[in-house]
Structure formats: C-alpha cells, structure tokens
Structure 1
Amino acid sequence: MFTNQDFDIFNDQTLAGRMHLIKTVIDPKFEQLAPTIIANLQTPGEPPFYAHVAKHLRRFKNPPVDTWVAFSQNKRSYKAWPHFELGLWPDRLFIYFDILDECKPAVQAQMQLADLAPRLLALPTGFVISNNHGVPTTESATPANITQAIKKFDQYKHSELVVGRAVGVNDPLFEDADALNQLIITTFKQLLPIYQPVMAAVSAAHED
C-alpha cells in the first residue's frame, strides 16, 4: 500500500505534475483502503460513513502541499462536520480526527471541548495534537499539551482541533504494508470515542 516512494510526488514543483501524481499514485491507494476503514468506523444502527478524496479544486497556481481522504457521516461534505483524515504531508503520513473551523461553531453551541479531556487523556502514547490542520507541525498528546490545545480551541476564533498519529517518511513501517494498514485502522478505532460525542453534538446543532 503506502511506501516511502509515495512521498516523491512532492518533488514535482508544478501544479499539473503534482496533481497528476496525486490522482494516479495516491488517490487509488486512498480508494483501495477506504472500504476497510469505513467498515471499521461503522457502528450498527448509525448513519454510514463516506469517503471524500481531496480534489484540490481551488488550486490554480501552486501545487497542493498535502493530500488526503476524509471520512464523515455526511455524504456531500466533511469540513463542516467532525471527521477523520488519512493523508500525506511531504514528511509524514497522518491519521487524524479533525474539528475544523467550519465545524467549530456547531461544536461550541452544544458542548464544552473540555468534556473531551478524559477521552483525550486516555489515548495511548504516540498520539499527537494540534490546533491547525493547515500545517504539519504537531505536539505530543501529553496531558499538558492536551490542556493547552483545549484552551486554545476555546480562546481563539479560528483555532481547530487535530488529534491522531503521524508516521514519519523514514519509519520502517513503510516496509511492512500489513503493519502500516493495521496501525491506520487501529488509530481510527482509538479515535472513535472522541469522534462520537462531537458528532452527536454537531448533529444536535444542525437539528436546532
């Protein structure tokens, strides 16, 4: 599945060239793995998950700096909903749960993010956290960094929440496709207890 060579797409500095590589090299891998991810995210009796492969439609000059597939329980979109993302930055593969700027008002209308603290603190070692999905930089999901991320989410209008795992480009996992795929699935399943109350809150906000 994913290999170190996949990151070579970022060596092409042209919009057309990188877009071609994303569509022919990376997107087919997203599409191949998506049904397995969805099957592991799905809860009986709950609305289905849908895969949304990034199209980068707003790129007219500069090539995409990252690329991803998102998983949400909304068939038409994902940014205004809590969702999961699997994607690539030039230096890492990421496996994240996201509350983006477009989703934040609905979350804050129905819940306090601090209510998620016990679930965030229960995440295993190796998880990372951030308040900005648009940059690759993250912090280890330590108790102090979790507290700080929640505080920033509450205090700053455009602060987001991103939490999950990242696999560096030189990680030996890229030499073991089965192990990497299992890590991806396991990570998403470990993030589900965080996703579920947020999704319930956002669904309630949309019903009001």
Structure 2
Amino acid sequence: MSFNGFTNDDFNVFTINGLDERMDALKTTIRPKLEELGELFAPMLSVATGDEMHMHVAKHARRTKNPPKDTWVAFANNARGYKMLPHFQIGLWETHVFVWFAVIYEAPNKVELGKLLQSKIGKLYKDIPNDFMWSLDHTKPAATKHGDLSKEELSSMFTRLQNVKKAEILCGINIPRDEAVKMSGRDFIARTETVFNSLIPLYKMA
C-alpha cells in the first residue's frame, strides 16, 4: 500500500486558475492518491457492508468552464454509478479532507430513509460521535458538528429529506487541512477506517 497521506500540494490544486490547468494538476497530484484509497477501501467496505463495493473516482467530465472546487472517490454497490445510491466518499476541498456516508439528490428512496432515520432519532442522536459532521449539500464545504445539534435540529434534517425533492444528507468527518498534512498515510487510513465503521449502521438503514 503506497498511500503516503495528503500534502499542501494536494490542497493547493484548488487555487490554480483555469479549468484545464486545474484539471491537469488534479489528475497528476490528487487522483493517484484517491485511486490508492479506492483500491484499499473498496474491499474493506465490501466486507463491512456485505455488499460488493466499487470505487468511483470523480472525473468532473461535464465541466466546460468552472474548475472543480473539490474532488473525491466514492464507493457504492454498483460498478456503473453511485449518485443514485447510498454511498461513501473520501475527498478534498481546499480547506479540509472529508469522509462521508452520503445520500444525495439523485437517490430515489429518500422519503423512506428519512422516515426510518426519524424513527431511530433517539439512538442516532446518542450513538453518532460528537465530532462527526452533518451536511445537507454535498456541493458546499459547510457542515454542522453533531455535538452542536439538538435532537430537534437533527430531526428537522430527517424531515427535510422526506419533504424536499433535492434534499441530501451526509454524515462523517472533516479533517482540517493543517491537521491532514501532518497525518501519515497509515494514520489517515486508520482514522478513515474507524469513521467508516461508525457509519456502516447508517448505510445498512439506507
């Protein structure tokens, strides 16, 4: 396993101007690392979930002018795509690394999942670690710490998943850039594995 961790060069890719220039840097700098993480975690997640998980490294193929502000590798139990399925992600913004369980706007079973999450609110509120984050939009870097949410606020996220057509829900961690660049590859892998194990119950619900 050759993953050596993330460096400032990886995060600096998102400061490069121009679509082609940023994409070239992304392909040579970050994408090989995401592929390494994909090859490492797809088998682990397959065992943990009981589903055969396939990795999908973001290609940003539809972009014609705006350079990507983040990039990722996703894991889902379909070799052809992941956006319509509950899935896992590891990726970067300029400011941080994220490790998510995600149900995004293309998933068809959000109403059922929202109801199920709502029915387990007490257990989820207690079991999700306080330093984990919740996000309602995978296209924005902002997220809310679980420990800062009231049970009612968490419940309203689950209600939104049922009632808003474009609603999303993501749960996991953000590792600030300053912290991420100090982590060895081994430390990052260990931390990510711990996070994924904590998120498996959400995946199994979905």
TM over 0.5: yes
Matched, 1:107 2:110: yes
> 1:3 is matched with which residue?
7
For structure 2, list consecutive stretches of 5 or more residues without a partner in the other structure: none
Q: Is 1:120–1:194's contact at 8 Å kept on the other side of the alignment?
A: no
Matched, 1:183 2:191: yes
Matched, 1:170 2:178: yes
Partners of 2:114 and 2:141 lie apart in 1 by: 27
Partners of 2:173 and 2:118 lie apart in 1 by: 21
State TM-score, norm by structure 1.
Answer: 0.87
Matched, 1:154 2:159: no
Q: Is 2:113–2:205's contact at 8 Å kept on the other side of the alignment?
A: no
Partners of 2:62 and 2:198 lie apart in 1 by: 32
Cα offset, 1:131, TM superposition: 1.1
Partners of 2:191 and 2:18 lie apart in 1 by: 32
State TM-score, norm by structure 2.
Answer: 0.87
How many aligned positions are there? 196
Percentage of matched positions with identical amino acids: 32
For structure 1, list consecutive stretches of 5 or more residues without a partner in the other structure: 199-208
Cα offset, 1:45, TM superposition: 9.1
Partners of 2:176 and 2:158 lie apart in 1 by: 25
Partners of 2:43 and 2:18 lie apart in 1 by: 36
Cα offset, 1:130, TM superposition: 1.4
2:73 is aligned, of 64, 69, 86, to 69
Matched, 1:122 2:130: no
Cα offset, 1:4, TM superposition: 2.7
Partners of 2:178 and 2:49 lie apart in 1 by: 40
Q: CA RMSD in A?
A: 1.9
| Letter paired with 1:4 | N
Q: Is 2:114–2:162's contact at 8 Å kept on the other side of the alignment?
A: no
Cα offset, 1:110, TM superposition: 6.7
